[in-house]
Amino acid sequence: MWQRVLQATLITVVLSVLLLGIPLGWSWLNLNRQELYSEANRILDTVRIDTEERLSEDRPIDEAMLQQRVDEQVDLNIAIEVKVDDLTVRAGDPPGAGAIEVRTLGTNGQEITVFIPQSDVRAHTASAWVLIAVAALSALSIGVSVALWQAQRISMPLARLSRRAEEMGGGRARGPWKPSGISEIDDVAEELARSGAMLAERLEAESRLASDASHQLRTPLTALSMRLDEILATSSEEWVREEARISLEQIDRLTEVVHDLINAPRSSQRRTPGVVELRTVLTQQSEEWSPAYRRAGRELRIQVPRTAAVWGSQGPLTQVIATLIENALAHGGGRTLVKVRRNDHSTVIEVSDEGRGIDPELGSRIFERSVSGRSSTGTGVGLALARTLVEDDGGRLELLTESPATFGVFLISAPGEESDLGGEEDGGELGRLPQGSVVRRRSRGRTVRTPAGQDPPAT
């Protein structure tokens, strides 16, 4: 800030010196030259009077008389020349070329000329330039001093205001604002303090709301989880046990989402991505969404390689894929295909359907909040939140094609262990594990490992 103030002041001073100093200097030089002419005319009048007295008394004009007038000049080295009839009398050093000349005729016919050498003219001109330069430098020095004082006077309160804003952002602002003497900065500081207080109140209210919501959600989720555990432990129907297991996994994921949403505002650091096996995530999504697709008379098909591990966070990544599958069900048509393509460096999860696609006018704004294809029921938050969740793990979410609608989730590939599962299965079958594999589930806060086909322990 102080640099800009100093620069602006210096530019103003320099322009003022140029705009005022150049005409003033030119006028001063002309005035100096006129003074030299006036001095030469004064000397000329004196010599004319002397010569007329001599000639009126019939005395000759000699060099001594003229030299006396030359010696009287302290600051000028003049030369005088007098012509009477055929007689020419001179006194002083030869003036040389370019000298100032003034001449007149006396009443007795004498011609008198006074010379001021060019060296004296240059000397007087140089002195005038020196005075002009001194005045310009003085003006610049005063301007720099005033600019430094003014810049410091303005920049210090602004620096204080910046530090206070930073402290308010970190929740460390304490004490009232000390007036700076600049009303505009003091007004901004007061408004910033009021805004900070209002923001703190809103954050506190949101924190209380999140805390209350967490307690209100945990109780029914825990009760529902216990009820499903009981169904899973007592039921002998395989399809009932399968639906209970899928429901438990959904409750676990919902509990993790609630936990992340509650703790996200309290955390000052971003989450650290880990290795996520896409086959596990897509299996879970196939189990959850296949019934909804069957009721809609549509097909959900998933293609995933045997090994498809990426760097990310399993909960947020699951939420992103669920959002894309849900959007395809709500807005798309025909078969929805979830396809995984990968290499040693990157992995792409493509979600596409066979519907009409996305309006081109909406395509460029599809990831903006409050933009939704369902004006009556959509909130326009899903895709915006999904992109944020992917970017937090170092990936990106893009709209690859508008018609048909194809979304791509780009992630960093990670090393993973190979599985015995097939390389391509449809959505209805991908969620079912082969006989003898291990099912992981949570039961009242702990993880239970149960061999498939056996009853879990009583809980």
* DSSP conformation class of 334: S
User: Looking at per-residue confidence, does 202 or 425 come out higher?
Assistant: 202
Q: Give yes or no for residue 419 having a pLDDT over 50.
A: no
**Nearest by Cα to 102 from 58, 150, 46:** 46
pLDDT for 375 equals: 47
**Nearest by Cα to 247 from 266, 228, 261, 234:** 228
Tokens of 69: 């007038």
Q: What is the dihedral of CA 322, 326, 328, 332, to 10 degrees?
A: 180
Tokens of 392: 């937090």
Full 3-state SS string of 264-295: CCCCCCCCCCEEEEHHHHHHHHHHHHHHHHHH
User: Looking at per-residue confidence, does 436 or 334 come out higher?
Assistant: 334
- pLDDT-above-90 percentage for the chain: 12
Residue type, 127: S
pLDDT for 339 equals: 93
**Nearest by Cα to 332 from 368, 369, 292, 304:** 292
How many angstroms separate the Cα of 428 from the Cα of each of 172, 293, 432? Answer: 55, 10, 8
Question: 248-280, pLDDT tens digit by residue?
Answer: 777 777 777 666 666 655 554 556 778 999 998
pLDDT for 310 equals: 92
Flag the least confident range among 120-134, 287-301, 392-406: 120-134
Helices (H), 404-450: 427-430
**Three-state DSSP class for residue 229:** helix
Q: Give yes or no for residue 40 having a pLDDT over 90.
A: no
Angle at which helices 278-295 and 314-331 cross, to 10°: 30
Taking the CB of residue 15, how many other CB atoms lie within 10 A of it? 10
Q: 273-451 in CATH: which number? A: 3.30.565.10
Q: How far apart are CA 88 and CA 70, in angstroms?
A: 16
* H or E segment to which residue 125 belongs: helix 118-169
pLDDT for 299 equals: 93
Q: Give yes or no for residue 2 having a pLDDT over 50.
A: yes
> How is the beta sheet containing 111-116 ordered, strand by strand?
87-91, 79-84, 111-116, 100-105
Q: Are 286 and 427 in contact (CB under 8 A)?
A: yes
Q: Give yes or no for residue 416 having a pLDDT over 70.
A: no
pLDDT for 451 equals: 36
Q: How far apart are CA 335 and CA 13, in angstroms?
A: 75
* H or E segment to which residue 415 belongs: none
Which residues in 54-76 are b (16+ Cβ under 10 Å) and which e?
bbeeeeebeeebbeebbeeeeeb
Taking the CB of residue 404, how many other CB atoms lie within 10 A of it? 18
Helices (H), 170-237: 183-234
Q: Is 85 exposed, middle or buried (0-12, 13-18, 19+ CB in 10 A)?
A: exposed
Q: How far apart are CA 132 and CA 378, in angstroms?
A: 76
Q: How far apart are CA 50 and CA 65, in angstroms?
A: 8
Tokens of 305: 């390689």
Q: Give yes or no for residue 320 having a pLDDT over 70.
A: yes
Q: Give yes or no for residue 146 having a pLDDT over 90.
A: no
Question: 5-38, pLDDT tens digit by residue?
Answer: 777 777 887 888 778 777 877 887 788 778 888 8
Pairing of strands 111-116, 100-105: antiparallel
Q: How confident is the model at residue 95 (pLDDT cuts 50, 70, 90)?
A: confident
Q: How far apart are CA 54 and CA 84, in angstroms?
A: 12
Question: 183-239, pLDDT tens digit by residue?
Answer: 777 888 777 778 877 877 887 787 777 777 766 776 677 777 777 777 878 877 888
Q: What is the mean pLDDT of residues 409-416?
A: 86
User: Looking at per-residue confidence, does 260 or 62 come out higher?
Assistant: 62
Residue type, 270: R
Tokens of 24: 């003033």
* DSSP conformation class of 269: S
Tokens of 89: 């009398």
pLDDT for 11 equals: 83
Q: What is the mean pLDDT of the chain?
A: 77
Q: Give yes or no for residue 428 having a pLDDT over 60.
A: no
Pairing of strands 87-91, 424-426: unpaired
Question: 283-304, pLDDT tens digit by residue?
Answer: 888 888 888 899 999 999 999 8
Q: Are 301 and 336 in contact (CB under 8 A)?
A: yes
Q: 2-122 in CATH: which number? A: 3.30.450.250
